[in-house]
Amino acid sequence: MYITRQEVTVAGGRGTEYLDRSNRLGELVRSQKGFLGRLILNSFGYPAKYTALTTWESREAARAFAMGPQIAAFLRENPLGDIGTVTRPNEAYAVIHDVSSSGEPGSVVLVEWTLDARPGNAAAFEASRKELFELAKKHVPGFVSSQLLRFLGAANKYVAVRQNTNRDALAPVAPPEVQAYNAAHPATGFASTPNVAERYEVVLRI
């Protein structure tokens, strides 16, 4: 699978317009070959910040839509304009692991990692996240899914996407099983740069 990420800062008082536009765009994308799903997230910490995660079967499917006449027409007729400003270059990721359960996502945590560049580190990190995700599926209340995404522009950059049914800003305290695993596999074992986590509310799901 292939995921694109776009971040927008929405102008004051224009949130409803942004979501209306996002919904119309989502309906267009829904009809495209290879489209799998789309989440619009609103940051708990930065209320004007919205992040769109769009999932495709492949990069080829996403590129076919991005280069097609339908999206060109949509953008002409629905300019982002003064509704909001793209604040981060659009990014693309490969899905390395996807561990899912049931339930509707209410909140999402994005955790960005920049791994140390040393032999075997990325493979060990990927294996550890798979184990951690499987453990979370068994023990974390409200677990919906966890994905590990690898940034396609650099071999050592990853994003973990944790979805939970809870809509609150503060995620529940990790159960003992997860805490024990994290203690045995500390983040510092993979990255000397601290990872960065941000919590979001799911405001639109297509």
Evaluate if residue 193 carries a pLDDT over 80: yes
Cα dihedral 96, 99, 104, 108 in deg (nearest 10):
-50
Pick the CATH number of 94-205 from 1.20.1630.10, 3.20.20.10, 3.30.70.100, 3.40.50.300: 3.30.70.100
Banded pLDDT at 170 (limits 50, 70, 90)? low
Q: How far is CA 89 from CA 66, 81, 107, 159, in A?
A: 15, 17, 23, 15
pLDDT at 171: 62
Per-residue pLDDT tens for 86-118?
A: 999 999 999 999 999 988 999 999 999 999 999
SS3 percent helix, strand, coil of the chain, rounded to 5, is 30, 40, 30
Between CA 148 and CA 111 the distance in angstroms is: 9
Buried b (16+ CB within 10 A) or exposed e, 70-107: eeeeeeeebeeeebbeeeeeebbbebbbebeeeeebbb
Which has more pLDDT, 170 or 45?
Answer: 45
pLDDT at 192: 96
Phi, psi of 21 (to 5 degrees): -65, -40
pLDDT at 174: 84
Q: What is Dmax (Cα atoms) for the chain?
A: 53
Question: Which amino acid would we find at residue 170?
Answer: L
Task: Count CB neighbours of 175 within 10 A.
Answer: 14
Between CA 201 and CA 176 the distance in angstroms is: 25
Instruction: Give the residue among 136, 148, 142 at the shortest CA–CA distance from 167.
Output: 142
SS3 73: helix
Model pTM?
0.93
pLDDT at 190: 97
- Give percent of the chain with pLDDT exceeding 90: 92
What is the third-level CATH fold of 2-92? Alpha-Beta Plaits (3.30.70)
Sign of CA dihedral 10, 15, 18, 22: positive
pLDDT at 99: 97
Banded pLDDT at 184 (limits 50, 70, 90)? very high
Where do the structural domains in the chain lie, given as residue ranges? Answer: 2-92, 94-205
Q: What is the mean pLDDT of the chain?
A: 94
Per-residue pLDDT tens for 114-169?
A: 999 999 999 999 999 999 999 999 999 999 999 999 999 999 999 999 999 988 86
Domains 2-92 and 94-205 share a fold: yes
Please report how the helices 59-66 and 69-77 are oriented relative to each other, as an axis angle in degrees rounded to 10: 50
Per-residue pLDDT tens for 35-80?
A: 999 999 999 999 999 999 999 999 999 999 999 999 999 999 999 9
Instruction: Give the residue among 4, 188, 59 at the shortest CA–CA distance from 114.
Output: 188
Question: Which amino acid would we find at residue 89?
Answer: P
